[in-house]
Structure 1
């Protein structure tokens, strides 16, 4: 924790901005060195004591206590934060029951009457309060050295702004949370207490019942007593001493001549907090404010009006596009939408709370909360300017049908009373009616859109839940829980043999059930279909909400792999949005691109995505956030299709945009690097992935899944068989990715299975003949099998790992035919079982579908079942060729394998033709390409065999040409230093 500056020789004491559970202020709050109580002398302006707050020398706090010490009944665990006069520890007690607390203890040497009084005051303040949104005081006393302490409820939460931003709460959710803060401060006021240092760091938010966020106001360390009894025992603020945090300080707090501070000072601070919560920035820029002299800070707070929230936001949009994007994303909206919402009326609330004259503010936090409820309920605001037109607009919003009928009657009467002098009046009246109707319509649309966003936020939780666990993972958990309960039930059976038979019978039955389908059906039928049905009935007259519900349900179906239903829902959402907003509205295009993404007709899917991308580009430009996201979606579609070059081009077009957020940029770079690796461009891939890793590790906090992804891609590139010099580094990165996934998701999560399988497959590929890498690969595969065996219905990744284990068994089978036969039979059975379950699950991922078949084909070939191997190899090759990239490395590889299977069946001529067609495709690959080299050598060897069987014929002539091709390639490889 940084030491704080001094002013006029006095240390600037720091109260812990969040003493319960975290030690850093929220990202929207002023810098930590500024998060302090400010002391100032009474020197005249221009004297040395009126220096900027950044001057002065640090001082060091003496610490006597240490972890493990006992303070009363409490054992200290670790320090949570320290201020100018107090230090807060995490502590615990064992009797009368186990409990963790935040224990606040006065610093040694800080024994002046003012500090002791303020500390005692905080203990009393907390003790008399009992509110769910105020941290409770639990105990208190004095140490053996005479230092007061008290124990408070330990709140394991985050500062309010940080909580809202990290969970991307929209404006409505932020207002609902802020109302809790108002209620907590109101409770303190009813007990005769003013907080006087309200700021986001003193409001912690934790998950309550049902994950509902609960705000807790903490640190009443500088509360002012209102009733006479407490004030008799409390030494109040001394003359010339400013207590509070400047950015949130009321004008009267900043006035050295102010005689009294009342509850409206807290209302002002609440207004600043609300401003920051809505806008993502403080009314006065902290760095600029704190660079001023002390008296200038006081003057600014007392006299200068800050910019309105909408203007502050608009400034961000024009001067700092990166910050504007982050602010908008953290509120699930766009900057222009937020600014318009604020300008319409919402910003009136914080501005009223922040009036310089306290008589013009809300009288209490309750009144502030009541006006926030007015806004949320569509009622007129107390903060609104006194205007009949405004009240009329609010009435129109709530009573559109009645108003429209009334205005129609008024219009008819006006027309019926036409006279020459009245005609102009009637015309003006019509204009006014039209304006009112337009205002009402806009207001109604805004409310509908807000309701739509609310619905999207709720259903978004379901979508994220679905995407995190997936059908396979959820099904596995269900099956495991069923088996656990069956095992518990079977314990009531006395006979061990009967009990074992009962358990095995149930286990066999569960294995025959596709629990992935069961889980997906429960999610779809219970959660999603009911939500869709409610959308059609309860929101029949509200197309925005209905479209939002249907859109969110479509995303959930898409995550579950139920693309047929997802396609239908996305089409409905597109049509609803299109009818209300037109084809070029962002929401219409978002629904259109997702509709295209899941279409079963892949040609139509690609055409649809490209059409939406073209419209977004024409309307909003290449750099627009929706354009970028659509292009990323198209790139992912093309990558899944196997069109590597096209996918790479789209990802690179994304990277060409200058205003990408760091996470989007680094994630896209990781995808580019992996595509470069898959295409054989290892040097480029490694350079791209190293840069992506660097950028991801700069993010705070570092996103675990993004880091794991780039470490995996970089590890695979570095550990490629053609780069022996970097294989050790690559294997180390793959191990690190496993550690991250296991810590973040758990060992049984599909992504953890994937990470372990990547390492094992790579170890098998780079084995140098010593068998050490093969042995480790077997251990890693065995770990996947061990974890998977504890799951009754394992995820797809476990099935693929079983398949790869079977492949390794086949590859390492003994050379002796008799000894190898049972090993190969076991490998075939293990592989076939895994492939059968995978096919039953109707795996939609093209890459995974290919991996299953390619691996099983290898096992068949090792076992001598070449016809079965050929069947699967042709399926894989046809899928790659359909992707439109006939010279991709995977096509070279599968063609080589297929040629081997044909030769083994005595079909030498077919194998030669197959490899010749591969070579004649005029690949764009360099002559040094390993894939091109291997294809050329294999074709030459097959032509030699074919020529040896002919006395004279075309094979000999083709062999001469092939020898020349091999010689050309060898020359190029020798020049490049390749063997």
Structure 2
């Protein structure tokens, strides 16, 4: 008999254009350099272009399938181990996906016959960025415009999951097309989708390397896109100042120990004639250049080169956007937005209009004399209001961080410790009684209830009272409260909060604004977690429809992409729970394929999509593949994010379910016991997520034939769910069904039938008679009726409804469909339809043999039933052969060598024999 598993309601790289690895001879000279004429695959070496610490770059001719000149970089490292080979494979697939005018196209990649990795890329006839600018004395504005295009190319690589890690002028070649400079970023040979600064495999150029990449942050920090932003900052400094920031310091690595020296300070320290020369090279008078540096460019370079990467520009596109603002005469994000600064930028953009306005203003000044005092007072009031707004921003940010950092486990432990301290001080003789009470109580549950009742409810009331005139701040605070409610398992309450935020943002910002859609997605997720699947699906579909109109070149494209992915995940989960399982699984597969093409393999969002897909596979009967994916996911998450990270724990629980469904009940129980202990400690015994895990543990104990342990645990979960959610809530019905399965397996079929009929009546109404969950219960009910000894005609009537429904909505190969087919054959045997029973049992036996592992014994229950049917048909020899092959091995097995499954099979044979005997009587 099957049972429902509880779960939290919510790897291969997809094929790219293909960069097949090819090997070929590489006869290097004594110094390791390849001579002209040497062959690597389809490429003939023509000349050495340059060499460095990572390897050499050659000009080469591609001979097939097309003839063209290419640049070939051969890395110095040889004989890649498994880890480096995996990184190299991932890198070359990522590099093939990049398409941008500012990035040199990578054509091919592979390893030579003697083990050297190599990349083949577009050959660029150009000069390094700084040399191009200096030899042509490019004016400042033209340098910045050129640099903006470089940043756009870097941003494109980042969106494809690639961090360059060696950005420097020599890796940005500038050529001219139709008289216009065109930058090309080259040498992605050490790029990666994520690398730690742990002292190994460190690559790059020290003068341009970020502190975390150089290992000066203590090590162990994952290198991300902000490392490239730092390198861009160094290049920007060099483009403007004419030298690298480190040139002003005592050592080349000193730049990494503190934030960079301001640009203007470097100019001020130059001799007057050198400063004048630099100003002429940049096409700007010396005084204007100093003013520009101090007023704006100092801020831009300083922010790009912050030692603390959290203080840098968050992306290359953000740096480019600030430089474009400079070129357009608009205020920069990096510069504090004082009124004087903003007004000065406005004047710079609108000189003529301001001059005309000033002329008109002079004519009416006399009439405004009496208004000046009032204007002064209004200005002062505005200053006070702005100061208060800034203070409120800080308060809001602080309150938000406090709410989001609520530690239920810590509060519960603190409550226990506080009680022990008080009792120990005032009545130490009562300590044994207190310990006995605390052993049965969940202090984390008490803390969760107290937070909901006293903190969150008061917080929402205070937001309404104190922030009515600050709608944006109020919305942010409400979102924080909703996030905490969601984490506490108060999904319906969180949905109400998110709905209000989404409604207010729509009125204030518009229905298509990113902030509005993010709130609607949070609302959709909360609805799905609260089992309001239809509502959650409708909201997610609305978000997807509106988010699809986002401009492709939006500065916040990454946030839009994340929003679309999360909305698509939510919609698929809702579809699956609404019964559209095939469509939901197909949507999840497509989502995974699309996401894996543009995201790094370890991207958390990609792992979430993969976990969703694997769960759907399992619930649709593809257990082996689902388990394989979960085993891999769990090992990766445990190593990368830690054993107690929330995402790791979710996958840990799902993996235990996969092991159980795959027949490894003991392994499942061991893993799930650990999962439940972590959940109770972190969230409390009656947190909804912990109840899911406890319910699953009870089911696994049942499958391990440990009924005495499973039943009390299952009844505790049922009682808690009935109190929390109501008698007819989906989670409560699921636990009631699992208890029915336990009772039936223990021979208490009369009690089991009562529970099943209650669940079946509820599920036929909601989610409906043709829902997969309803089909599941229909099959269970037929199984229990058979084992309870109900007349075969009644069982067959139930099967006439259950089996076609299971085949239609669960599929021919689903374990529950197979269970219904076995019960049908056994019922035919009871009813005396011997020929039909024998044919069906023979088909079941043939299918089991085809799917069995090499050393897996035959199914003795089905073998016994088939032999009985053949005996009745007078086919005694066939019956004896079946008994000898399928049943006798179990009968001959010594009692001390039988496992729980063997004992259960013997009991089932005795049960079926008793049912047949009762009918004959």
- TM-score, normalised relative to structure 1: 0.48
CA contact (8 A) 2:463 2:477 kept: yes
CA contact (8 A) 1:476 1:793 kept: yes
Question: Residue 715 in 1 paired to residue 624 in 2?
Answer: no
CA contact (8 A) 1:784 1:801 kept: yes
Relative distance call for 1:745 and 1:775 in structure 2 (3 A) is: same
Distance 1:559 1:494 in 2: 37
Q: Which residue of 2 aligns with 1:634?
A: 571
- Correspondence 1:389-468 to 2 at 5 A: 458=397, 462=401, 465=404
Distance 2:741 2:849 in 1: 32
Distance 1:934 1:32 in 2: 56
Relative distance call for 1:634 and 1:789 in structure 2 (3 A) is: closer
Correspondent of 1:162 among 196, 202, 226? 226
Residues 629-653 of structure 1: per-residue CA shift (max 9 Å, x gap):
5333322322344532342344356
CA contact (8 A) 1:850 1:876 kept: yes
Residues 532-559 of structure 1: per-residue CA shift (max 9 Å, x gap):
44332x32xxx55555555565555445
Relative distance call for 1:885 and 1:374 in structure 2 (3 A) is: farther
Correspondent of 2:784 among 862, 887, 901? 901
SS of match in other structure, 2:53: coil
Q: Which residue of 1 aligns with 2:301?
A: 273
Distance 2:394 2:460 in 1: 13
Relative distance call for 1:30 and 1:158 in structure 2 (3 A) is: closer
Correspondent of 1:678 among 619, 622, 633? 619
SS of match in other structure, 1:373: coil
TM-superposed CA distance for 1:339, in Å, is 8.6
Question: Residue 923 in 1 paired to residue 811 in 2?
Answer: no
Q: Which residue of 2 aligns with 1:381?
A: 344
Question: Residue 744 in 1 paired to residue 641 in 2?
Answer: yes
Correspondent of 1:829 among 704, 712, 728? 712
Residues 833-860 of structure 1: per-residue CA shift (max 9 Å, x gap):
2333344444999886666445433333
TM-superposed CA distance for 1:508, in Å, is 5.4
Q: Which residue of 1 aligns with 2:824?
A: 939
- Correspondence 1:729-808 to 2 at 5 A: 730=631, 733=632, 736=635, 739-740=638-639, 744-747=641-644, 754-766=650-662, 775-784=666-675, 787=678, 793-794=684-685, 795-807=687-699
SS of match in other structure, 2:781: helix
Relative distance call for 1:673 and 1:389 in structure 2 (3 A) is: farther
Distance 1:165 1:850 in 2: 54
Distance 1:510 1:393 in 2: 74
Question: Residue 516 in 1 paired to residue 448 in 2?
Answer: yes
Q: Which residue of 1 aligns with 2:417?
A: 484
CA contact (8 A) 1:478 1:515 kept: yes
- Correspondence 1:33-112 to 2 at 5 A: none
TM-superposed CA distance for 1:524, in Å, is 1.6
Relative distance call for 1:761 and 1:572 in structure 2 (3 A) is: closer
TM-superposed CA distance for 1:197, in Å, is 11
CA contact (8 A) 1:511 1:792 kept: no
- Correspondence 1:282-301 to 2 at 5 A: none
- Correspondence 1:320-399 to 2 at 5 A: 342=325, 347=330, 349=332, 372-374=336-338, 379-381=342-344, 385=348, 387=350
Relative distance call for 1:374 and 1:838 in structure 2 (3 A) is: same
CA RMSD of aligned residues (A): 6.8
Distance 1:156 1:971 in 2: 55
Question: Residue 499 in 1 paired to residue 431 in 2?
Answer: yes
Residues 61-108 of structure 1: per-residue CA shift (max 9 Å, x gap):
xxxxxxxxxxxxxxxx999999989x9999xxxxxxxxxxx99xxxxx
Distance 1:903 1:393 in 2: 95
Distance 1:226 1:582 in 2: 49
Distance 2:204 2:721 in 1: 57
TM-superposed CA distance for 1:385, in Å, is 1.0
Relative distance call for 1:567 and 1:265 in structure 2 (3 A) is: closer
CA contact (8 A) 1:250 1:269 kept: no
Q: Which residue of 2 aligns with 1:3?
A: 53
CA contact (8 A) 1:857 1:870 kept: yes
Question: Residue 651 in 1 paired to residue 588 in 2?
Answer: yes
Distance 2:731 2:329 in 1: 50
Distance 1:853 1:558 in 2: 25
Residues 790-810 of structure 1: per-residue CA shift (max 9 Å, x gap):
679335454444445544555
Distance 1:972 1:807 in 2: 27
Q: Which residue of 2 aligns with 1:576?
A: 504
Relative distance call for 1:869 and 1:533 in structure 2 (3 A) is: farther
Count of residue correspondences:
616
SS of match in other structure, 1:217: coil
Relative distance call for 1:484 and 1:457 in structure 2 (3 A) is: closer
Residues 927-968 of structure 1: per-residue CA shift (max 9 Å, x gap):
5555433322211212332x24xxxxxxx5xx8667666677
Relative distance call for 1:53 and 1:935 in structure 2 (3 A) is: closer
Relative distance call for 1:579 and 1:348 in structure 2 (3 A) is: closer
Q: Which residue of 1 aligns with 2:466?
A: 534
CA contact (8 A) 1:5 1:53 kept: no
CA contact (8 A) 2:699 2:738 kept: yes
Relative distance call for 1:276 and 1:250 in structure 2 (3 A) is: farther
Distance 1:672 1:962 in 2: 38
Distance 1:581 1:665 in 2: 30
Distance 2:547 2:185 in 1: 49
Question: Residue 217 in 1 paired to residue 108 in 2?
Answer: no
Distance 2:324 2:763 in 1: 50
TM-superposed CA distance for 1:611, in Å, is 4.8
Relative distance call for 1:560 and 1:463 in structure 2 (3 A) is: farther
Distance 1:501 1:481 in 2: 19
CA contact (8 A) 1:480 1:793 kept: no
**Greater RCO, CA 8 A, separation 6+:** 2
CA contact (8 A) 1:550 1:569 kept: yes
CA contact (8 A) 1:754 1:797 kept: no
SS of match in other structure, 1:680: coil
SS of match in other structure, 1:647: helix
Relative distance call for 1:456 and 1:939 in structure 2 (3 A) is: farther
Q: Which residue of 2 aligns with 1:709?
A: none
Distance 2:472 2:742 in 1: 54
Question: Residue 859 in 1 paired to residue 749 in 2?
Answer: no
Residues 40-68 of structure 1: per-residue CA shift (max 9 Å, x gap):
xxxxxxxxxxxx9999xxxxxxxxxxxxx
Distance 2:667 2:847 in 1: 36
Distance 1:394 1:911 in 2: 92
TM-superposed CA distance for 1:482, in Å, is 1.3
CA contact (8 A) 2:822 2:844 kept: no
Q: Which residue of 1 aligns with 2:93?
A: none
Unaligned stretches of 5+ residues in structure 1: 7-24, 39-51, 56-76, 91-101, 104-152, 167-177, 183-192, 205-215, 228-235, 243-248, 279-312, 314-324, 351-368, 396-402, 411-446, 687-712, 718-729, 768-772, 814-822, 949-955
Distance 2:769 2:817 in 1: 15
SS of match in other structure, 2:344: coil
SS of match in other structure, 2:343: coil
Distance 1:790 1:53 in 2: 51
- TM-score, normalised relative to structure 2: 0.50
SS of match in other structure, 1:639: helix
Distance 1:914 1:163 in 2: 65
Distance 2:432 2:746 in 1: 36
- Correspondence 1:968-979 to 2 at 5 A: none
Relative distance call for 1:615 and 1:326 in structure 2 (3 A) is: same
Residues 385-419 of structure 1: per-residue CA shift (max 9 Å, x gap):
16457779999xxxxxxx9xx9xx99xxxxxxxxx
CA contact (8 A) 1:781 1:801 kept: yes
